[in-house]
């Protein structure tokens, strides 16, 4: 069986309340001068009501949690003089008076597939909470470089501040890239929201 390799793509929709391809995405605002946000990136709510690309996150008490998973945006391009629909926000190309509309998935029942780091995720990790590393986005295709951070796996105690919970590992088709392997490295896991704006356990 070929070994898995790193090919990070962020958080890819696996299931949710809605139906493909939109999965009941919701519109959010992005500041005109915000940093780039890539398709599949987690985003974090800001104090001005906008969202921005999340920093790498484990489980930080008092943090706002993530707002959802970024799916693209719409904006009036200064360079192209037209409205652009894009799967990622480049971080510029709008006037300071313009509004950038982003689209995110924040369905509390949503599940996503994401790749692990070189340590990998074992079947025994199902039910644990986990964080992520943001990685580098790809400007050629707009895809996120985020991936699961196995150093934040919490198997002993359910962590209310962790952004995700592991609900499964990918086994099929056998031998495909990302499937659970003997080495466990760079395999794919199925995760659900644990601490997101529409679902958290803080104060319970």
Residues written for the chain = 204
29 pairs with which residues across the strands? Answer: 101
Q: Express each pLDDT in 123-146 by its tens digit.
A: 889 999 999 999 999 999 999 999
Q: Is the pLDDT of residue 78 over 70?
A: yes
- Looking at residue 176, its pLDDT comes to 74
pTM for this model (two decimals): 0.90
The answer to whether the beta carbons of residues 57 and 76 sit under 8 Å apart is no
Q: Express each pLDDT in 4-59 by its tens digit.
A: 888 899 999 988 766 666 667 899 999 988 899 999 999 999 999 999 999 988 77
- Looking at residue 15, its pLDDT comes to 81
């Amino acid at each position: 069986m070929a070994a898995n390799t790193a090919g990070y793509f962020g958080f890819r929709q696996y299931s949710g309340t809605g139906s493909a391809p939109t999965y009941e995405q919701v519109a959010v605002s992005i500041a005109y001068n915000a940093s780039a946000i890539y398709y599949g990136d987690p985003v974090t709510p800001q104090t001005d009501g906008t969202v921005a690309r999340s920093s790498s996150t484990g489980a930080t008490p008092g943090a706002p949690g993530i707002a959802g998973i970024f799916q693209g945006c719409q904006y009036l391009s200064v360079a192209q003089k037209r409205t652009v629909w894009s799967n990622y926000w480049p971080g510029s190309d709008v006037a300071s008076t313009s509004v950038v509309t982003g689209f995110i998935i924040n369905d509390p029942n949503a599940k996503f597939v994401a790749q692990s780091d070189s340590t990998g995720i074992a079947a025994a990790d199902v039910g644990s909470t986990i964080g992520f590393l943001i990685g580098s986005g790809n400007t050629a295709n707009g895809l996120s470089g985020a991936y699961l951070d196995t150093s934040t796996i919490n198997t002993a105690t359910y962590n209310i501040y962790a952004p995700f919970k592991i609900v499964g590992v990918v086994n099929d088709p056998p031998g495909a890239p990302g499937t659970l392997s003997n080495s466990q490295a760079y395999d794919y896991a199925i995760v659900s929201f644990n601490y997101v704006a529409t679902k958290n356990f803080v104060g319970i």
